[in-house]
A and B are shown apart, each in its own frame.
Chain A
Amino acid sequence: MKDSKAAHQGAPFVAVENLTKQFGRFAALRGVSATFDGGRLHAILGDNGAGKTTLLRTLAGLIQPTRGTVTVLGSTDIRAVCDQLGYMAHPSLLYDEMSGMENLRYFARLYGIQDDERCAKAISAVKLDPELTRPVGQYSQGMRQRMSLARALIHDPKILLLDEPFSNVDIGSAREMVRLLESMRAAGKTIFVVTHQASLLDGAADEFVWMQAGQIVGRTRQLQPVEVR
């Protein structure tokens, strides 16, 4: 991990410049410019419609910006570095009818991974049992979120992009998820978390990025100050 950071020294780890995204009559991002350091946990906060998810999806390469550029690991072509990105969305991105292991085995193939051991390890890493044969559709929300995280981690990416990983789960599962994220950050991963439950990340996140009306309106190290806007 440290070597890779050195390789990108000079160029920012993740940067967006003058990013604008318009969906028909609705603009989700309006000229967002920012750079983000590697090896940190960035919490992206804001109201509904502030552009958090659009920003995250643009970083994941799922959305082509209307204007502006995205640079990830020194590359402006996200396709070229997509095997260094792990993306977890609000929906589970899993097939409900298949078991966790079957799901992971399929998604591993997409990254050219044929090794079932790695799938089992990824499942164990999020504190789930790889032997579980129940289809994912019958999991509890907390378990499904963790399985979803395992899917995002299957190819051991440098950067994790997580959209609302704590929503609709009980407080215990959410805390568990935060602990998982902290251990991953400690292992050198760069993590972006979009959430509206900022308090869960108090003390865990290195930085809070506040968004409003399609723009970044503030970046703080602590949670408190910008709450009153």
Chain B
Amino acid sequence: MNDFDAEDRLRFEQLVLPHVDAAFNLARWLLRSRADAEDVAQEALLRSYRFFRGFHGGDARAWLLQIVRNTCYTWLEKNRPMELSMEFDEELHLQTCATPETLDRKRLTMALETLPPRFREILVLRELEGCSYKEIAAITAIPIGTVMSSLSRARRQLHSAPVNSLQGARP
């Protein structure tokens, strides 16, 4: 390995690798599966490494999440194309959350997974990843106005998951 590669790798390790958790978390929620997320996040990270020379500074997390997101959608198109045409379905959501003994975590997980992917990713980026609207807009390539309206819709649906489970969530 020559100097340039070593330097490159060091930069990659310093700038990009700290965001492996963010990469996995987004993939896990977009794909609704930890096993698939592991494969796809790995693929996305290797891809980001290969194309790291195209990263000219700026927000490394947003840059990586963009790649993770694109890799996830490509994977979904190939493996589960039906999911991409998923629509808002509040009925389905209410049915799946009907069991009273379900932990709140499970309810919220189900509610989140029932959201169409384009709404789900925005909520995950905002609530779990703590991204700003500007970062979300950059990662998902949608205008900030749409970020706000999508957040509103996603939050409303999630909020309609039964709340009476907070006690159930504690063992």
Indicate, yes or no, whether A interacts with B. no
